[in-house]
């Protein structure tokens, strides 16, 4: 495995979850010191422990990033410990099902707080340091559904469309500072979030696999490989880009 993140400090939000844990492990396996942050401290701690046990460097930090103050506290704590942040992966996200009439106001609000407002707060806290150090990389997890909406997920889809636009805007504004901002738009990926959705819909994982031309849904490690590429110096001219990773699946 190459060591593209040797000497770098990386924050991964939602690092205790399916895709976030794969991203944290990938960045650590390539030499990064990874701050695994999640509202679920137990999940984050387990991931940080796995990384440490396999010879990598990671620290678990709890933060509820739906709160702006928590985002600022998280970044301040990382800067206190490590003095710099090279990579920010805004991966945490939640999915609340429902069309405009079904979804509750609370579900609408929390979806936006976690999926997009947190990126605003975390980027504002991280970017001044990246400017001072001469650059950095930010990778945001949007979704294929933010570009091509699936039915009955209006809050999720609109929040992910906002992530896509936020990524393009931030990429454009930060490019002169050599801060590269890019986004990934996964189709369905086998994680706890997907399993919960499948259970609610009455379908099985095999049903989902059959809907993908590639023959199966994605694996967290496949998203992690793309995130690592975008965050690394191997993508020096990628900025403001959105990359779909879907196994050629069209949204049905
Ligand atoms: N799984 C998929 O099919 C899929 C497809 C496209 C995009 N995505 C996106 O990928 C990202 C990761 O999803 P996943 O499938 O790994 O989900 P997951 O549920 O396994 O992980 C999400 C993590 O975010 C954390 N989190 C939720 N609210 C938080 C908060 N307020 N503060 C801090 N952490 C919080 C959760 O505790 C969890 O560990 C999300 O942004 C999701 O929208 C997932």
The answer to whether position 252 is within a domain reads: no
Q: CA 230 to CA 136: how far, in whole Å? A: 11
The burial class, CB within 10 Å (0-12 / 13-18 / 19+), for 191 is buried
Q: For residues 249 and 80, give the distance between their C-alpha atoms in angstroms, rounded to a whole number.
A: 43
pTM score, two decimals?
A: 0.98
Strands 9-13 and 33-38 turn out to be: parallel
55: phi then psi, degrees, rounded to nearest 5: 95, 5
pLDDT of 24 reads 99
Please determine, for residue 114, whether its predicted confidence score (pLDDT) is greater than 70: yes
Ligand 1 centroid–CA 134 distance in Å is 30
Ligand 1 probe mutation, 193, 208, 222, 242, most atoms within 8 A of CB: 193
Going by C-alpha positions, the residue among 50, 9, 19, 74 that lies closest to residue 190 is 19
Domain assignment of residue 2, yes or no: no
**Per-residue pLDDT tens digits for 157-186:** 999 999 999 999 999 999 999 999 999 999
How far apart, in whole angstroms, are the C-alpha atoms of residue 63 and residue 35?
11
Q: Is residue 251 part of a domain?
A: no
Asked whether the predicted pLDDT for residue 252 surpasses 70, the reply is no
pLDDT score of 192? 85
- The residue range of the domain holding 214 is 9-245
Q: How far is the CA of 194 from the centre of ligand 1 (A)?
A: 10
Q: Give 196's pLDDT tier (boundaries 50, 70, 90).
A: confident
Q: Domain count for the chain, please give it.
A: 1
Three-state SS for 21?
A: helix
3 assigned to some structural domain: no
Q: Which residues are known to be catalytic?
A: 156
What is the SS3 assignment for 141?
A: strand
Give the distance (Å) from ligand 1 centre to CA of residue 167.
18
| DSSP codes of every residue in 227-242 | HHHHHSTT-TT--S-E
Question: Taking all residues of the chain, what is their mean pLDDT, rounded to a whole number?
Answer: 97
CATH of the domain at 175: 3.40.50.720
Confidence of residue 143 (pLDDT cuts 50, 70, 90): very high
Instruction: Give, for ligand 1, the residue of 65, 94, 150 to mutate: max count of ligand atoms closer than 8 Å to Cβ.
Output: 94
To the nearest whole percent, how much of the chain has pLDDT over 70? 100
pLDDT digits (tens, 9 = 90+) for 201-243: 888 999 999 999 999 999 999 999 999 999 999 999 999 999 9
Confidence of residue 1 (pLDDT cuts 50, 70, 90): confident
Mean pLDDT in residue range 55-77: 98
- pLDDT for position 186: 98
Q: Would you say 78 and 62 are in contact if contact means Cβ atoms under 8 Å apart?
A: no
The answer to the question of residue 250 being in a domain is no
Question: Confidence class of residue 197 from pLDDT cuts 50, 70 and 90?
Answer: confident
């Amino acid at each position: 495995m190459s060591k593209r993140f040797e000497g770098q400090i990386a924050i991964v939000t939602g690092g205790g979850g399916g895709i976030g844990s794969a991203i944290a492990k990938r960045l650590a396996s390539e030499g990064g010191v990874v701050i695994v942050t999640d509202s679920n401290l137990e999940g984050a701690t387990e991931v940080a422990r796995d990384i440490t046990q396999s010879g990598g460097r990671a620290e678990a930090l709890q933060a509820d990033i739906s709160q702006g103050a928590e985002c600022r506290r998280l970044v301040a704590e990382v800067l206190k410990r490590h003095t710099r942040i090279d990579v920010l992966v805004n991966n945490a996200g939640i999915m609340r099902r429902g069309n405009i009439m079904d979804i509750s106001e609370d579900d609408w609000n929390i979806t936006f707080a976690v999926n997009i407002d947190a990126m605003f707060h975390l980027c504002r806290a991280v970017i001044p340091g990246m400017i001072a150090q001469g650059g950095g990389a930010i990778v945001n997890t949007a979704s294929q559904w933010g570009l091509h909406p699936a039915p009955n997920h209006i809050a999720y889809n609109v929040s992910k469309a906002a992530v896509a636009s936020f990524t393009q805007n931030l990429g454009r504004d930060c490019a002169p500072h050599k801060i590269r901002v890019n986004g990934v738009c996964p189709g369905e990926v086998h994680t706890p979030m997907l399993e919960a959705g499948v259970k609610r819909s009455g379908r099985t994982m095999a049903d989902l696999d059959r809907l993908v031309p590639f023959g199966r849904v994605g694996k967290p490690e496949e998203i992690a490989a793309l995130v690592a590429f975008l965050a690394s110096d191997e993508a020096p001219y990628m900025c403001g880009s959105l990359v779909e990773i879907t196994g050629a699946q069209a949204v049905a």
